[in-house]
Amino acid sequence: MTHFIEVFFQAFPLLMDGLKFTLELAIISIIFGLGIGMLIGIFRVYGGKFSYTLSTAYVELIRGTPLLVQLFILYFSLPQIGIHLSPFVASVISFSLNSGAYQAEYIRGAIQSVEKGQMKAAFSIGMTKWQSIRLVIMPQALRKVIPSWTNEFVYLIKYTSLAYLVGVPELTAQGEFAASRNFEFMNVFSGVALVYLFVILIVTWLFSNLEKKVKIPGV
Amino acid sequence: MKLLEVRNLKKSYKSKEVLNGISFDMDKTETVVVIGPSGTGKSTMLKCINRLVEPDDGQILLNGMDVMKARKIEKIRQRIGMVFQDFNLFNHLTVLDNVRIGPLKVKKLQKNVATELAMENLKKVGLTSEAKSYPSQLSGGQKQRVGIARALAMNPDLILFDEPTSALDPELIAEVLEVMRKLALDGMTMLIVTHEMGFVREIADRVIFMEKGEIVESGTPEKIFNAPEKERTHQFLAQFTKFGREK
């Protein structure tokens, strides 16, 4: 145990450097993903035929292919047609696109769970469709989506370890680097796992607080 | 000019005809009540007037404006209030915000003006003390009164009431009817669908009896309740006396 602590603290600075990238990747991607998710989610419920078809195709395409393959296409395949992305940018784009598709499904479900009468009431006082969505439907839908959103963020934090494979020095990559210097694979990767666990527990706690904070009184 | 003119309104769902050519009109300050058996298209007719339900055919004029041909239906809906059977208050907003959101976001009034207007209308329904509550913290009767205040805050030409007391426990009905009675006295133009026959008798300027998507007959409450021309009207109203619902 003391040996583990010793190795862990030795590797700690490296792991923290990696964690910085991990969190950057996860936070930027969850936010872009939320933007994409809201847009696609709204299109899938309220869109016309064209936007519905397009957004459904997007969701199915992303969900039907592995995240790693999507990342490799962005990082390794695009250069063949002249588009060069840095490892970090390629990762952010692929994670955002991927998370966006999943978030779109959560948001679609949440929108559909808002009572039909809410929209009717919004229309009845003269709101446009867009006003109704923005002022009445989304504030309720987004509250309902927080638990699945927490889940999505947790997945995303873990999935960022895939960025290692295109050379982003994130937490897993730094762990690998630290471990291969002293061959302490057991101890270092246990430490890496603990860091992920710790971060995810904090995130879960933060979001459950957020959920309580924005809860509609009396509901 | 009539405040509201409805001409030959038709609506069917798939092959089922719900409205089979409804025509009537309303004057300003008039209270018209629509009665009739369940499933005869009363609610559908009401929702066609502000096009929450899209009619198949017919003409609707509000102050001479063609509702069916309106480019921006939301402009017309601002002038037609609606009170729903199941309230449909905005769950995530306080009572004050429920009433204020229309003036504030739709009419784009200044916040203090909208707030004042909202409080004024909450006062009319006796709920200023609940301004900071959320809908789920209210009783059904209170919810419906907020629903009425929300409609009033838009200062509409006409308010449509779609069975406003049908979802309420019996002991909560009176407070809602009381508010509606006051509105009628204040000269609000109201088109009401309800089964509260005692209330209809008391408040209506005119009663329309509807069945199977058609207007069977219409007239003053005295005429409809005491001397209906049509046998169907008589039969329908007889049920209410039988069950003692009429006051």
pLDDT at B49: 96
- Judged by a CB distance cut-off of 8 A, whether residue A213 touches chain B is no
Q: Report pLDDT digits (tens) over A102-111.
A: 999 999 999 9
The answer to whether position A196 is within a domain reads no
How many domains does chain A fold into?
1
pLDDT in tens, B145-159: 999 999 999 999 999
A101, A44 Cβ separation under 8 angstroms: no
> Which residue in A118, A125, A136 has the most chain B C-beta atoms within 10 A of its own C-beta, making it the best mutation to test that interface?
A125
Is A187 part of any domain? no
Q: Chain B partners of A135 at a C-beta cutoff of 8 Å?
A: 101, 105
Query: What pTM was estimated for this model as a whole?
Result: 0.90
For residue A10, tell me if it sits in a domain: no
Which residues in chain B touch residue A122, judged by CB atoms under 8 angstroms apart?
Answer: 90
Q: Which residue stretches of B79-196 are H helix?
A: 95-101, 111-124, 140-152, 170-185
Proportion of chain A above pLDDT 90, given as a percent: 89
A37-95, pLDDT tens digit by residue?
999 999 999 999 999 999 999 999 999 999 999 999 999 999 999 999 999 999 999 99
Q: Which pLDDT score is estimated for A218? A: 81
Of B245 and B111, the structure prediction assigns the larger pLDDT to: B111
Q: How many CB atoms lie within 10 A of CB B183?
A: 21
Asked, for residue A43, whether it belongs to a domain, the answer is yes
Q: What is the per-residue pLDDT across B172-212, written as a single tens digit (0 to 9) for each?
A: 999 999 999 999 999 999 999 999 999 999 999 999 999 99
pLDDT mean across residues, chain B: 94
Residue A9, domain member (yes or no): no
Residue A120 domain-assigned (yes or no): yes
In the predicted structure, residue B246 carries a pLDDT above the cut 60: no
Mean pLDDT, rounded, for B160-175: 95
Q: What is the mean pLDDT of residues B61-79?
A: 94
Report the residue of chain A nearest B103, measured CA to CA: A125
Q: Which band of pLDDT confidence, cut at 50, 70 and 90, is reported for residue A1? A: confident
ipTM for the predicted complex: 0.94
Cα–Cα distance, B75 to B77 (Å, whole number): 6
In a domain, A15, yes or no: no
Residue B85 pLDDT? 96
Distance from CA of B187 to the nearest CA of A (A): 20
Which CATH number fits the domain that encloses residue A51?
1.10.3720.10
- Mean of the per-residue pLDDT values of chain A: 95
pLDDT of residue B5: 96
Look up the domain containing A52 and give its range.
24-169
What confidence tier does B88 reach under pLDDT thresholds 50, 70, 90? Answer: very high
Mutation target among A111, A116, A118, A124 for the B interface, most CBs of B within 10 A = A124
Other CB atoms within a 10 A radius of the CB of residue B245 amount to 12
A125 touches B at CB < 8 Å:
yes
Residue B127 predicted with pLDDT over 80: yes
pLDDT for res B14: 86
Binary contact (A216, B92; C-beta < 8 A): yes
Q: Which long-range contacts (CB under 8 A, 24 or more apart) does B50-56 make?
A: B50/A123, B50/A124, B50/B76, B50/B77, B50/B80, B50/B82, B50/B160, B51/B76, B51/B77, B52/A120, B52/A123, B52/A124, B52/B82, B53/B11, B55/B9, B55/B10, B55/B11, B55/B19, B56/B10, B56/B11, B56/B12
Q: Is residue A181 part of a domain?
A: no
Nearest residue of A to residue B136 by CA position? A218
pLDDT bracket for residue B247 (50, 70, 90): very low
